[in-house]
């Protein structure tokens, strides 16, 4: 048994049992992949895959159990390398943060500024992705920290902690009739074409739920992945926008008005997540603490190492910390 065989088992699952894709991912040949699988099965004396001819269709029952062990072994192998780097190069290395556009553009700049001042020799790699992609990157070991509003807190293999609370708000051009509507209501908003986030991004599910509870079906004429695009089309007069309130700047967004939506829409929580059992360097804990001072290294370390516990969700935090 060797690490290449274990990597092939893991990649086979990730690539939906397509051996050509497995070979490409591991920079080897398909025949080499097949041989490694056969050698491992012969050594263990069991079949790991369900087959139809030469094609792999899925995992056998022992194969399913083995995959979980393989994932832990490969994770621990990466942890050993991280541990060595921690003590040989304490204040240098790479921190990979996967996040959405909204967080990277509006919530994280002050945190990144403080982090780079404290760790100038650490390369900070910011990967922008959808919430589902962020969760996948964390589970695959392609990111150390994930930050998003959607998806992360519901994944059992991730330990998730509250970053900050926020509400949606309505944006309209100066002079729009809604500016004078007091109090602002969902019914008044639904009378206008809406421009807001795409499904699965930045609390969109809570927006849909609010209108559904009121028995309203708003006309969403444009959906986008980030607030900058939404604001652009509101400026063009194509509709009114609903965005995260943190994504509005009175100084920069000249010609637009922000209307408070805290009474109309549920609060959202942006989460910081790490994979349970993943070894984090000292500077990764510092980055998390800069996001929310309540999240000390000991708190995050204890929660993320307890693989048998349900996802940890920070209950006490300073709303808006790090922004």
pLDDT in tens, 8-31: 888 888 888 888 888 888 888 888
pLDDT more than 90, % of the chain? 55
Check residue 320 and give its pLDDT: 35
Q: What is the CATH number of domain 3-83?
A: 1.10.10.10
Tell me the domain boundaries of the chain. 3-83, 91-163+268-305, 168-260
Which residue has better confidence, 289 or 52? Answer: 289
Check residue 231 and give its pLDDT: 96
pLDDT at 292 over 70: yes
At 87, the pLDDT band (50, 70, 90 cuts) reads low
pLDDT at 89 over 80: no
Check residue 321 and give its pLDDT: 34
Contacts of 279 (CB under 8 A, 6+ apart): 78, 79, 82, 83, 86
CATH topology of domain 91-163+268-305: D-Maltodextrin-Binding Protein; domain 2 (3.40.190)
206-213 LR contacts (CB < 8 Å, sep 24+): 206/168, 206/265, 206/266, 206/268, 207/168, 207/242, 207/265, 209/266, 210/186, 210/264, 210/265, 210/266, 211/186
pLDDT at 147 over 60: yes
At 310, the pLDDT band (50, 70, 90 cuts) reads very low
Selection from 35-44, 46-55, 245-254, 286-295 with the highest mean pLDDT: 286-295
pLDDT at 242 over 60: yes
Check residue 79 and give its pLDDT: 66
Check residue 20 and give its pLDDT: 87
User: Is there a common fold for 3-83 and 91-163+268-305?
Assistant: no
Q: Is 132 in contact with 149 (CB distance < 8 Å)?
A: no
CATH topology of domain 168-260: D-Maltodextrin-Binding Protein; domain 2 (3.40.190)
């Amino acid at each position: 048994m060797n690490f290449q065989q274990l990597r092939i088992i893991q990649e086979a699952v990730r690539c939906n049992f397509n051996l050509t894709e497995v070979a490409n991912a591991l920079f080897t040949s398909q025949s080499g992949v097949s041989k490694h699988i056969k050698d491992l099965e012969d050594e263990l004396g069991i079949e790991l895959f369900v087959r139809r001819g030469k094609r792999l269709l899925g995992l056998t029952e022992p194969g399913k159990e083995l995959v979980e062990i393989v994932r832990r072994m490969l994770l621990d192998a990466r942890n050993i390398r991280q541990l060595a780097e921690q003590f040989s190069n304490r204040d240098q290395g790479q921190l990979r943060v996967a996040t959405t556009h909204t967080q990277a553009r509006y919530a994280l700049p002050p945190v990144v500024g403080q982090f780079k001042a404290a760790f100038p020799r650490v390369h900070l790699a910011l990967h922008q992705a959808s919430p589902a992609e962020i969760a996948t990157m964390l589970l695959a070991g392609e990111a150390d920290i994930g930050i998003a509003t959607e998806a992360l807190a519901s994944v059992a293999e991730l330990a998730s902690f509250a970053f900050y609370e926020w509400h949606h708000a309505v944006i309209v051009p100066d002079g729009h009739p809604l500016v004078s509507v007091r109090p602002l209501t969902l019914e008044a908003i639904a009378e206008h074409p809406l421009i807001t986030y795409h499904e699965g991004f930045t609390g969109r599910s809570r927006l849909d739920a609010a209108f559904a509870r009121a028995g309203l079906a708003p006309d969403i004429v444009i959906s986008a992945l980030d607030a900058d695009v939404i604001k652009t089309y509101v400026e063009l007069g194509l509709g009114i926008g609903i965005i995260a309130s943190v994504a509005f700047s009175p100084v920069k967004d000249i010609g637009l008005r922000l209307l408070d939506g805290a009474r109309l829409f549920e609060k959202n929580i942006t989460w910081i997540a790490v994979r349970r059992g993943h070894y984090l360097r000292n500077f990764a804990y510092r980055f998390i603490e800069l996001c929310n001072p309540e999240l000390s290294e000991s708190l995050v370390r204890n929660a993320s190492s307890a693989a048998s516990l349900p996802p940890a969700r920070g209950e006490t935090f300073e709303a808006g910390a790090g922004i």
